[in-house]
């Protein structure tokens, strides 16, 4: 068979299709992990496309804010190169210092709530960019404005890079975290190049119509076009971050995710003293990581589904007043438990802390997870406190947290006016301990069958809150 009788148009069409397919293969090879799409989870593509939009828009806003900052530096330093260079170096140094302090403060919360801190990082970046846009209004305060802005940017960069690995891990199916991270770098670079080019075009257009900023009749006039161009891209930067985070499924247990799981489970008990007495399979009552992640709140503040607030490892001096030091002593002696555990529980009625509230400058942890209707000052209503011993391992922490949630659930059916009845509270602690003791192994098995990670948990925020109690 010869090709001389084939129509030329057919040969040309086949060649174009081959080129398109080859180009697609090369793009996948350059920007996607090896073995894509079988080497990653199904939600990986959704994350990538919105992350790409996020990075493109972020690069555009970065170009525009830098343009405004350079205007301010020129005006504030009277165009003296040495002064301008020194200001630039100082603001970079202060920004890096701010990032170091922030990283020390946040600690492992990057791993516990990566979506929340990644979203906050994006918002911080845009706020910092807005400050840079406003810098020409106060050229004499260039160093102050630029330093504050750079602190915000360094915090954003640090938070973004710190949460990236934890999020990428959720997409890996073939132990290919390194490959996913590397391709993420390629995707980010490509998006940054596109965004930078687009930003330069927009910046050049703005400069064309504002050729001499020093000749402007008002300090506001030169930055108005920049703001108008900045606004839409700033929105898409934040929106792209939000949409991409919706595709991330986190399988580690922290306070919000564990509460969402346990609250639904406890509502199904209906008086049962063990999970084995529940008519349906317990695995059907445990929400999967995908379902919990879809309901997870990472933009606003989390509101616990439990009515009774939980304080994890609060400072002991909050409970040393004469009114409830006896209760603290009983809690440390683990009164009400069937046997000793590696955790300690203290129920505080409404009036106990309310009477001592005026003496407290910081009554409770600022980021404690409270009920959505709790609008009073921290500590002004009854709550449950939980401490872990220095010897507590991960299973002990899960068990203690489950016991605390079971107590909180039981207390919701108790009249608040009778919450001071110590015998009643001790009965609840004992009954819920029986429930947890009889059901804990079944619960762990159900969690693992749903692919929840039970080797590590994120219930505490620091290492110095553990207790050592001599027995």
- So where are the chain's domains? 28-245, 256-458
Return the bridge partners of 311, or none: 385
Tell me 456's DSSP state.
-
Edge-to-edge strand ranges of the sheet holding 310-312: 310-312, 383-388, 343-348
Residue 258: pLDDT above 50?
A: yes
pLDDT number for residue 311? 93
pLDDT number for residue 130? 93
pLDDT number for residue 126? 94
Tell me the range of 18-32, 51-65, 106-120, 315-329 where mean pLDDT is highest: 51-65
Residue 379: pLDDT above 50?
A: no
Q: Which pLDDT band, with edges at 50, 70 and 90, does 147 fall under? A: confident
pLDDT (average), residues 271-297: 76
Q: Which residue has the tokens 């009554």?
A: 363
pLDDT number for residue 361? 36
Q: Which pLDDT band, with edges at 50, 70 and 90, does 360 fall under? A: very low
Tell me the range of 12-26, 66-80, 112-126, 141-155 where mean pLDDT is highest: 112-126
Residue 263: pLDDT above 90?
A: yes
Q: Which residues contact 121 (CB under 8 A, 6 or more apart)?
A: 155, 156, 157, 158, 159, 160, 163
Low-confidence winner among 8-17, 49-58, 124-133 (lowest mean pLDDT): 8-17
pLDDT (average), residues 132-142: 83
pLDDT (average), residues 207-213: 66
Q: Which pLDDT band, with edges at 50, 70 and 90, does 396 fall under? A: very high
pLDDT (average), residues 322-345: 86
pLDDT number for residue 357? 40
Read out DSSP for 229-266?
HHHHHHHHHHHHHHHHHTT----SEEHHHHHHHHHHHH
C-alpha 154/C-alpha 166 separation (Å) is: 19
Q: Which residues contact 184 (CB under 8 A, 6 or more apart)?
A: 51, 164, 168
Rounded (10°) angle between helices 8-31 and 177-209: 100
Residue 5: pLDDT above 80?
A: no
CA distances from 229 to 61, 212, 213, 233, 234 (A): 9, 19, 17, 7, 9
Longest dimension (CA), the chain: 103
Residue 471: pLDDT above 70?
A: no
Residue 320: pLDDT above 60?
A: yes
Low-confidence winner among 82-91, 216-225, 251-260, 387-396 (lowest mean pLDDT): 82-91
Low-confidence winner among 30-39, 353-362, 446-455 (lowest mean pLDDT): 353-362
pLDDT number for residue 464? 75
pLDDT number for residue 22? 81
pLDDT (average), residues 189-209: 90
pLDDT number for residue 381? 67
pLDDT (average), residues 298-319: 90
More confident residue, 282 or 245: 245
Residue 337: pLDDT above 80?
A: yes
Token pair for 319: 């409970």
Residue 271: pLDDT above 70?
A: no
CA 30 to chain centre: 29
Share of the chain above pLDDT 70, in %: 77
More confident residue, 419 or 76: 419
Low-confidence winner among 25-34, 102-111, 375-384, 391-400 (lowest mean pLDDT): 375-384
Burial class of residue 54 (count of CB atoms within 10 Å of its CB; 0-12, 13-18, 19+): buried
The CATH number, out of the four listed (1.10.10, 3.40.1350, 1.20.1250, 2.60.40), of the domain defined by the range 28-245: 1.20.1250
Read out DSSP for 287-341?
PPHHHHHHH---SS---BSSSS-EEES--GGGG-STTTHHHHHHHHTTTT-SS--
Residue 377: pLDDT above 90?
A: no
Residue pair 405/263 in contact (Cβ under 8 Å)? The answer is: yes
Residue 346: pLDDT above 90?
A: yes
């Amino acid at each position: 068979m010869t090709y001389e009788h084939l129509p030329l148009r057919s040969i040309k069409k086949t060649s174009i299709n081959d080129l398109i397919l080859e180009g697609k293969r090369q793009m996948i090879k350059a920007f996607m992990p090896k073995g894509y799409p079988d080497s990653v989870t199904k939600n990986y593509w959704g994350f990538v496309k919105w992350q790409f939009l996020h990075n493109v828009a972020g690069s555009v806003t970065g170009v525009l804010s830098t343009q405004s900052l350079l205007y301010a530096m020129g005006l504030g330093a009277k165009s003296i190169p040495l002064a301008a260079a020194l200001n630039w170096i100082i603001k970079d140094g202060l920004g890096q210092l701010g990032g170091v302090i922030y990283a020390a403060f946040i600690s492992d919360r990057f791993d516990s709530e990566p979506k929340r801190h990644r979203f906050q990082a994006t918002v911080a970046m845009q706020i910092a960019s807005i400050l840079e846009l406003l810098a020409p209004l106060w050229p004499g305060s260039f160093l102050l404005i630029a330093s504050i802005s750079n602190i915000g940017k360094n915090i954003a960069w640090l938070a973004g890079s710190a949460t990236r690995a934890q999020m990428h891990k959720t997409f890996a199916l073939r132990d290919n975290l390194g490959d996913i991270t590397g391709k993420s770098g390629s995707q980010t670079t490509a998006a940054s190049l596109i965004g930078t080019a687009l930003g330069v075009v927009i910046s050049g257009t703005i400069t064309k119509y504002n050729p001499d900023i020093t000749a402007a009749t008002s300090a506001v006039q030169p930055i108005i076009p920049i703001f108008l161009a900045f606004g839409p891209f700033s929105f898409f930067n934040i929106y792209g971050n939000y949409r991409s985070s919706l595709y991330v499924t986190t399988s580690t247990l922290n306070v919000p995710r564990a509460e969402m799981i346990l609250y639904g489970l406890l509502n199904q008990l209906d008086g049962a003293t063990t999970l084995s007495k529940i008519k349906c399979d317990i695995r059907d009552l445990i929400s999967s990581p995908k379902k919990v992640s879809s309901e997870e709140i990472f933009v606003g503040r989390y509101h616990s589904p439990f009515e009774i607030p939980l304080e994890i490892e609060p400072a002991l001096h909050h409970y040393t007043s004469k009114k409830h030091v006896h209760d603290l002593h009983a809690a440390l002696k683990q009164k009400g438990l069937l046997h000793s555990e590696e955790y300690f529980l203290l129920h505080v009625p409404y009036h106990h802390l309310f009477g001592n509230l005026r003496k407290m400058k910081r009554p409770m942890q600022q980021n404690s997870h409270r009920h959505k209707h709790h609008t009073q000052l921290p500590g002004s209503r009854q709550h449950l406190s939980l401490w872990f011993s220095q010897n507590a391992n991960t299973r002990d922490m899960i068990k203690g947290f489950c016991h605390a949630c079971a107590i909180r659930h039981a207390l919701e059916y108790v009249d608040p006016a009778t919450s001071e009845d110590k015998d009643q509270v001790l009965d609840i602690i004992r009954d819920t301990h029986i429930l947890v003791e009889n059901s804990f192994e079944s619960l762990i098995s159900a969690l693992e069958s749903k692919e929840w990670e039970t080797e590590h948990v994120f219930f505490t925020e620091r290492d110095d809150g553990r207790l050592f109690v001599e027995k």
